[in-house]
Structure 1
Amino acid sequence: MTDDRRGGPADAAGQVTPARELLSAADVTRTIARMAHQIIERVADRETGSLAHAVLIGIPTRGTILARRLGAAIAEFSGTEVPVGSIDATLYRDDLRRGPARALAVTDVPEGGLDDLLVVLVDDVLMSGRTVRAALDALSEHGRPRAVQLAVLVDRGHRELPIRADYVGKNVPTARDEQILVKFTEIDGVDGVALARTTGGTG
């Protein structure tokens, strides 16, 4: 199954070259801290400093983990806990008919919906923009946000839709036959971001 954010895995005839580290575990921690500070600066009420109108919504799976990490960092730096949820965009994707059925992930939005909230949509890797577009469609089922911003750990380029992230951990120019490999301790046992290339395939 091809992931339009990271780049697809090698096909039966292809191979993936050894990954080149882009961000170490320490780099990931520092990058998330910087993004959290940027979100606080842009989202907090200018008069009161309140973040009560904000919510972080992650795109499963690693986007949800990143949203939780950002939420924890925001709470540490601002003293305010921002609600964190997730949105499954599977049924809103425009490639459902082009591949095997996809397992549904958890959708968890604040009780009462998203009306008049500032939503920071969070994903690990931004590529074509199609996953984000699907997530925006899914969000519309849960209310009418005041605004939606986008935070991603890695922007690898190759946009196919007019979508731009408001908060970017690292911009990484890539070729289409390369993959961005994001790892988080919660599911991978280690934090890090690496770049690998698929070679020898027929696609």
Structure 2
Amino acid sequence: MRVMGVDPGLTRCGIGMVDGGIGRKVTAVDVGVVRTPQDMDLANRLLRVADAAERWMDAHRPDAVAIERVFSQHNVRTAMGTAQAGGVVALAAARRGIPVAFHTPSEVKAAVTGNGSADKAQVTAMVTRILGLRVAPKPADAADALALAICHCWRAPLLDRMAKAEAQAAAARARYTERLAEQRRAGGTRNSGGGQRKAVGE
């Protein structure tokens, strides 16, 4: 499975591509950072991010796109820009029929380092080690994008099993509800018929 990881942002948007193999084996395919100038208007900054994401998707044909979920940030303006950048990437993927998954920073850190509170240096070090890279990916946005892709490769089987289990549970509930409705309808019909026969007997 090929996964495109995206660490969304307006000033720097990290994009990383990895191939997931058997077990927990992952291989780096490509990594980079999309930059937009702060003095550019918001619409064009988002367009630049979207165009770059589309080029990556068309060039590498990922099976899934993993985007960091904006969990909480002290700077509301930064959080909004991050969410908007992630949104245009998700839209680009949806237009191509590519599944999109969102992972929180703590989920990514826990998957890659075993510690949901790991700092950026620890994440970068583990990404470098996991992928067997000779040089650590820089800046941190690039390493975070690869970490997102790795996280999804490792979490996807679990997420898929959970989704299937939830779907089966929902189907079972629907069948049970339908059976109850049929029983109520059948009971109502019998009661109605019994009342009519009693009236005729009288």
TM over 0.5: no
Structure number with higher relative contact order (C-alpha < 8 Å, ≥ 6 residues apart): 1
Structure having the larger proportion of residues in helix? 2
Under a length normalisation based on structure 1, what TM-score does the superposition of the two structures give? 0.31
Under a length normalisation based on structure 2, what TM-score does the superposition of the two structures give? 0.31
Structure having the larger proportion of residues in strand? 1
